[in-house]
């Protein structure tokens, strides 16, 4: 074996555990899941039905409602979480603030709390009759808000909690991105008399494109996949399916209705959508960042 | 390899082989985490000793058990015996996941001792798939202390819907807003006794939805009025089952619907107040009609020890075991001779629940047997109706009509 082949072999050997793990725990379940989605029935008693599950799913108003809810939730919380995360990171990086590590720690704290427990605490806080939020509103002479008892209020509550969860982590990522921007760019801009907003627009944001895209992809994952715990515990998908995210519908289809093939069909569609959106973000990054780095 | 090492390995292998040969056979049981009573534990121990098996008792909350069972059934494996809500029995039987025990029950001379209605819940296409373990129903639980504070007679709970409304109003005026008159539940199933008590004991009759009656429209309107007035606790849609109960125990709600499973909590104190139990109010004051609840035990189709499981089912439902479980926890049971047992005299709840149990029906059994869970109280279509009553100020009649229309469409499709 020549030296080049040996080097290749060594590389593949190092990659083997990761590839094997991906094959067994990601690719194989995906293929099996897709195959299962072409069937109807339960357990091993399955009949091949082709794409019937997909047709039924696309004709179902409940599926479209879940997709709408998921997209609305993901887009709204992502915008707020990214904007606030950036502002917090920028303020801590450029601002004259004392005790920066304390502020950073406070903002990152929600991310290290167990999501299920934190969501339960939020549920108590949002409680219309005995919750601390309405207690504060009443103390201020204002009316109670039915936070979780109307579709709009429930969606707003879901977004508030998700922004609270993710803001600190996004801030950390932005802080890391900000530190990688050479100070000389800002110094040169200051010599030219450039203001703060121009510096952000023409230096900071363009150089943060890879960070923004990375956070965008994470936010997509958060909105599509991790929203399940939040919606399940905080609102149960209600009221009136106003917060029934796609992952919750998939869970209920599989474990409440025992319709695993249909749940797999929904999962495949969700994966395709997630993959496409992530791909588009990466395409945008390549175009926006080309020539800047 | 040195000879000494080989010898050691051979000895170790022999020991392991012997151990596995001598190991006791394992008998696996899935059980609800709140139902591990001493009375049942004694039965498990005696059963294990008699048959030389080791009991692997795995306990789950209901949602977790459902998830576990889905994977078990899909993989064609599972426990030897399981305890599930009785409403799951015909659903699982329809999936081919449970063993048909019709012949075992027919050959068992004690089967005639069971309340006749309990068989309906475990029967699909005239075949029986389990035994009822706990036989319960929903009733009105009310806080007598709060009734007194509101100037109401604690021995005269509301019997009609108009009395129910007047009681709610009186409590709200006297004790609100720190005390709420009534507590709705997150689970829409808890509204069913209000349907059943209007002399509409079944969701489907003659192949059609049977709940579109003037009495039910009036009932739903009164419930929505109470909710709209701010006199009732409206739990957040995702709230845990305990949310309403906890508020009742903390005396922040004066009335809830619940079953015998809460008697032990009330007695043991979590709640330090005097409470009463009465039939769910109805428009005409019809009486004890309610919806049946409880759990059942069954043998999965892929159980390794089905014969042993049938033996354990008989032991768990022996009258002495039922009585011991009731004395221990206050739970109600499915045997006629249990209801007549003198040892139960004075046990809290038994006197109040016995007439209710006799008149309780499996309200949505036909829908479950048709495989249309969406229109049952646990389903999505019913949930829209329930949420209109509890959370929205929408038109109750329109919501009921929408429910009936969609439910009848699904029934027709399932019947074809």
Interval B352-361: pLDDT, tens: 888 888 778 8
Q: Does B395 fall in a domain?
A: yes
Residues forming beta bridges with residue A48, ordered by sequence position: A39
DSSP character string of B336-363? HHHHT-GGGTT-TTHHHHHHHHHHEE-T
State how far Cα B78 lies from the chain centre. Answer: 22
pLDDT tens readout for residues B167-191? 999 999 999 888 999 999 988 888 8
Q: How far apart are CA A161 and CA A118, in angstroms?
A: 9
Q: What are phi and psi of B190, to 5 degrees?
A: -75, -5
Q: How far apart are CA A153 and CA A140, in angstroms?
A: 20
pLDDT of the residue at A104: 83
Residue B7 scores a pLDDT above 80: no
pLDDT of the residue at B16: 56
Closest CB to A43 among B74, B373, B384: B74
Residues forming beta bridges with residue B173, ordered by sequence position: none
Beta strands B290-298 and B81-85, pairing class? antiparallel
Give the SS3 label for residue B29.
Answer: strand
Chain A nearest CA to B35, separation (Å): 22
Q: What are phi and psi of B131, to 5 degrees?
A: -125, 140
Closest CB to B76 among A44, A154, A256: A44
DSSP character string of B281-330? PBTT---S-EEEEEEEEE-BTT-S-HHHHHHHHHHHT-HHHHHHHHHHH-
pLDDT of the residue at B57: 96
**DSSP state at residue B24:** P
pLDDT of the residue at A94: 81
Chain B nearest CA to A82, separation (Å): 27
pLDDT band per the 50, 70, 90 thresholds, residue B11: low
Q: Which CATH number characterizes residue B191's domain? A: 3.40.190.10
**DSSP state at residue A202:** I
- Dmax of chain B from CA atoms? 92
Q: How far apart are CA A275 and CA A260, in angstroms?
A: 22
Q: How far apart are CA A215 and CA A163, in angstroms?
A: 13
Same domain, B339 and B382: no
Give which of B46, B43, B51 is closest to B27, Cα–Cα. Answer: B51
Give which of A41, A235, A126 is closest to B383, Cα–Cα. Answer: A235
Closest CB to B237 among A43, A236, A258: A236
Closest CB to B237 among A235, A254, A257: A235
Instruction: Answer yes or no: do A238 and B97 touch at CB < 8 A.
Output: no
Strands in B158-209 per DSSP E: 180-183, 204-205, 208-209
State how far Cα B378 lies from the chain centre. Answer: 12
Q: Say how many C-beta atoms besides its own lie within 10 A of residue A194's C-beta.
A: 15
pLDDT of the residue at B202: 85
Q: Which residues of B touch A146 (CB under 8 A)?
A: 391
Chain A nearest CA to B75, separation (Å): 7
Q: How far apart are CA B367 and CA B376, in angstroms?
A: 7
Same domain, B314 and B393: no
pLDDT of the residue at B192: 87
Q: Does B330 fall in a domain?
A: yes
Residues forming beta bridges with residue B132, ordered by sequence position: B296
Q: How far apart are CA A223 and CA A75, in angstroms?
A: 8
CB-CB contact of B235 with B186 (8 Å)? yes
Same domain, B131 and B189: no
CB-CB contact of B404 with B211 (8 Å)? yes
CB-CB contact of A273 with A66 (8 Å)? no
Q: What angle, 0 to 180 degrees and rounded to 10, lies between the N-to-C axes of helices A246-255 and A227-234?
A: 70
For residue B113, count CB atoms less than 10 angstroms from its CB and return exposed for 0-12, middle for 13-18, buried for 19 or more.
middle
Instruction: Answer yes or no: do A43 and B73 touch at CB < 8 A.
Output: yes
pLDDT of the residue at B1: 52
CB-CB contact of B274 with B148 (8 Å)? no
Q: Which residues of A touch B97 (CB under 8 A)?
A: 42-43
Instruction: Give the H or E element holding residue A8.
Output: helix A3-22
Mean pLDDT score of chain B: 88
Same domain, B351 and B377: no
Chain B nearest CA to A79, separation (Å): 26
pLDDT tens readout for residues B306-341? 999 999 999 999 999 999 999 998 899 999 899 889
Chain A nearest CA to B312, separation (Å): 27
* Residue of chain B whose alpha carbon sits nearest to that of A232: B238
Same domain, B409 and B263: yes
Instruction: Answer yes or no: do B391 and A236 touch at CB < 8 A.
Output: no
In A, residues 90-149, which contact B (CB 8 Å cutoff)? 123, 126-130, 146-149
Instruction: Answer yes or no: do A258 and B238 touch at CB < 8 A.
Output: no
Give the SS3 label for residue A46.
Answer: strand
- How far, CA to CA in Å, does B172 sit from each of A4, B160, B169, B190? 85, 18, 5, 22
Q: How far apart are CA B233 and CA B253, in angstroms?
A: 7
Chain A nearest CA to B398, separation (Å): 15
Q: Which residues of A touch B75 (CB under 8 A)?
A: 43
A248 touches chain B (CB under 8 A): no
Instruction: Answer yes or no: do B238 and A42 touch at CB < 8 A.
Output: no
Closest CB to B387 among A128, A231, A238: A238
In B, residues 294-323, which contact A (CB 8 Å cutoff)? none
Q: Does B115 fall in a domain?
A: yes
Residues in Cβ contact with B221 at an 8 Å cutoff, skipping those fewer than 6 apart: B396
Pick the more confident residue, B38 or B20.
Answer: B38
> At CA B56, angle to CA B52 and CA B58, rounded to 5?
155
Residue pLDDT tens, chain A, 293 long = 688 888 889 999 999 999 999 999 989 999 999 999 999 988 778 899 999 999 999 999 999 999 999 999 999 999 999 999 999 999 988 877 778 888 888 888 898 888 889 999 999 899 887 889 999 999 999 988 889 989 999 999 999 999 999 999 999 999 999 999 998 998 899 898 888 889 888 899 999 999 999 999 999 999 998 899 999 999 989 888 999 999 999 999 998 888 999 999 999 999 999 999 999 998 988 887 776 55
Domain residues of chain A, as ranges? 1-37, 53-289
Give which of B383, B371, B370, B374 is closest to B407, Cα–Cα. Answer: B374
Residue B282 scores a pLDDT above 60: yes
Same domain, B151 and B247: yes
Chain A nearest CA to B245, separation (Å): 14
Q: Say how many C-beta atoms besides its own lie within 10 A of residue B54's C-beta.
A: 12
Closest CB to A239 among B67, B237, B378: B237
pLDDT of the residue at A226: 86
Q: How far apart are CA A244 and CA B214, in angstroms?
A: 33
Residues forming beta bridges with residue B134, ordered by sequence position: B295
Q: What is the CA radius of gyration of chain B?
A: 24
Same domain, B128 and B144: no
Residues in Cβ contact with B308 at an 8 Å cutoff, skipping those fewer than 6 apart: B27, B47, B51, B53, B80
Our count of domains for chain B comes to 2
Q: How far apart are CA B232 and CA B191, in angstroms?
A: 13
Q: Which residues of A touch B67 (CB under 8 A)?
A: 255
Residues in Cβ contact with B204 at an 8 Å cutoff, skipping those fewer than 6 apart: B210, B364, B366, B367, B370, B411
Domain limits for position B331: 24-137+293-361
Same domain, B48 and B98: yes
Same domain, B385 and B252: yes
pLDDT of the residue at B4: 63
DSSP character string of A134-171? HHHHHHTTPPP--TTTSHHHHHHHHHHHHHHHHHHHHH
Give which of A265, A236, A272 is closest to B239, Cα–Cα. Answer: A236
Chain A nearest CA to B89, separation (Å): 14
B381 touches chain A (CB under 8 A): no
Q: How far apart are CA B165 and CA B248, in angstroms?
A: 18
Q: How far apart are CA B326 and CA B333, in angstroms?
A: 8
Q: What angle, 0 to 180 degrees and rounded to 10, lies between the N-to-C axes of helices A260-289 and A209-221?
A: 170
Give the mean pLDDT of B249-272: 85
pLDDT of the residue at B264: 81
Q: Say how many C-beta atoms besides its own lie within 10 A of residue B406's C-beta.
A: 18
DSSP character string of A207-261? HTHHHHHHHHHHHHHIIIIIHHHHHHHHTTT-STTTT--HHHHHHHHHHTS--HH
* Residue of chain B whose alpha carbon sits nearest to that of A240: B384
Same domain, B349 and B382: no
Q: How far apart are CA A151 and CA A163, in angstroms?
A: 18
Same domain, B121 and B44: yes
Residues in Cβ contact with B231 at an 8 Å cutoff, skipping those fewer than 6 apart: B168, B169, B171, B172, B176, B180, B181, B182
User: What's the ipTM?
Assistant: 0.77
Domain A53-289 classified CATH 3.90.470.20? Answer: no
Give the mean pLDDT of B114-133: 91
Number of inter-chain CB pairs under 8 A, A vs B = 81
Same domain, B99 and B232: no
B52 touches chain A (CB under 8 A): no
* Residue of chain B whose alpha carbon sits nearest to that of A131: B236
């Amino acid at each position: 074996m020549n030296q080049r082949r040996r080097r290749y072999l060594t590389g593949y050997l190092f990659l083997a555990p990761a590839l094997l793990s991906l094959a067994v725990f990601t690719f194989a379940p995906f293929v099996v899941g897709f195959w299962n989605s072409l069937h109807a029935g339960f357990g091993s008693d399955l009949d091949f039905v082709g794409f019937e599950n997909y047709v039924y799913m696309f004709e179902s108003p409940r599926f479209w409602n879940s997709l709408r809810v998921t997209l609305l939730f993901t887009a709204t919380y992502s915008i707020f979480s990214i904007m606030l995360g950036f502002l917090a990171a920028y303020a801590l990086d450029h601002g004259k603030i004392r005790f920066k590590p304390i502020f950073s720690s406070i903002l990152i704290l929600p991310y290290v709390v167990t999501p299920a427990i934190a969501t339960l605490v939020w549920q108590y806080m949002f409680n219309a009759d005995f919750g601390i939020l309405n207690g504060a509103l009443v103390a201020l002479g204002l009316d109670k808000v039915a936070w979780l008892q109307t579709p709009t209020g429930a969606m707003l509550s879901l977004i508030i909690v998700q922004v609270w969860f993710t803001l600190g982590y996004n801030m950390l990522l932005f802080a890391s991105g900000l530190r990688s921007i050479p100070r000389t760019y800002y110094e040169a801009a200051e010599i030219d008399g450039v203001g703060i907003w121009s510096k952000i627009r023409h230096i900071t944001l363009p150089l943060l494109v890879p960070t923004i895209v990375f956070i965008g992809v994470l936010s997509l994952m958060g909105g599509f996949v991790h929203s399940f715990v939040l919606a399940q515990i905080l609102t149960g998908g209600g009221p009136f399916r106003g917060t029934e995210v796609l992952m919750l519908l998939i869970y209920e289809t599989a474990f409440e209705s025992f319709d695993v093939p249909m749940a797999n069909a929904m999962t495949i569609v969700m994966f395709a959508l997630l993959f496409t959106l992530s791909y588009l973000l990466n395409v945008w990054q390549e175009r926006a960042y080309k020539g800047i780095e | 390899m040195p000879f000494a090492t080989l010898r050691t390995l051979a000895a170790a292998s022999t020991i392991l082989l012997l151990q596995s040969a001598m190991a006791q056979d394992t008998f696996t049981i899935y059980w609800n985490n709140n139902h591990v009573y001493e009375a049942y534990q004694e039965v498990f121990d005696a059963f294990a000793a008699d048959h030389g098996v080791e009991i692997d008792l795995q306990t789950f909350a209901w949602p977790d058990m459902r998830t576990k069972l889905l994977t078990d059934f899909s993989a064609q494996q599972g426990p030897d015996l399981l305890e599930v809500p009785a409403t799951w029995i015909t659903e699982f039987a329809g999936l081919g996941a449970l063993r048909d025990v019709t012949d075992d029950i027919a050959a068992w001379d004690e089967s005639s001792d069971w309340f006749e209605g309990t068989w309906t819940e475990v029967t699909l296409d005239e075949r029986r798939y389990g035994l009822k373990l706990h036989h319960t129903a929903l009733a009105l639980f009310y806080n007598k202390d709060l009734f007194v504070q509101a100037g109401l007679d604690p021995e005269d709970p509301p019997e009609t819907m108009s009395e129910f409304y007047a009681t709610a109003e009186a409590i709200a005026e006297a004790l609100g807003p720190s005390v709420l008159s009534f507590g709705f539940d997150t689970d829409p199933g808890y509204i069913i006794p209000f349907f059943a008590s209007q002399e509409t004991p079944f969701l489907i009759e003659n192949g059609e939805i049977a709940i579109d009656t003037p009495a039910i429209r009036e009932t739903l309107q009164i419930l929505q009025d109470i909710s709209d007035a701010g006199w009732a606790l409206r739990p957040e849609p995702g709230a845990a089952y305990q949310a309403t109960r906890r508020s009742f125990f903390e005396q922040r709600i004066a009335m809830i619907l619940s079953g015998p499973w809460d008697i032990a909590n009330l007695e043991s104190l979590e709640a330090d107040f005097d409470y009463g139990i009465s039939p769910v109010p109805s428009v005409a004051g019809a009486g004890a009609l309610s919806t049946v609840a409880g759990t059942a035990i069954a043998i999965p189709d892929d159980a390794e020890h089905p014969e042993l499981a049938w033996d354990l089912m008989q032991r768990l439902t022996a009258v002495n075991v039922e009585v011991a479980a009731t004395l221990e926890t206050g739970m109600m049971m499915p045997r006629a001779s249990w209801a007549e047992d003198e040892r139960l005299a004075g046990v809290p709840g038994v006197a109040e629940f016995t007439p209710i149990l006799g008149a309780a029906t499996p309200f949505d059994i036909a829908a479950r047997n048709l495989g249309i869970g969406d229109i049952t109280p646990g389903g999505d279509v019913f949930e829209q109706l329930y949420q209109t009553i509890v959370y929205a100020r929408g038109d109750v009649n329109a919501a009921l009509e929408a429910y009936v229309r969609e439910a009848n469409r699904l029934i027709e499709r399932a019947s074809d």
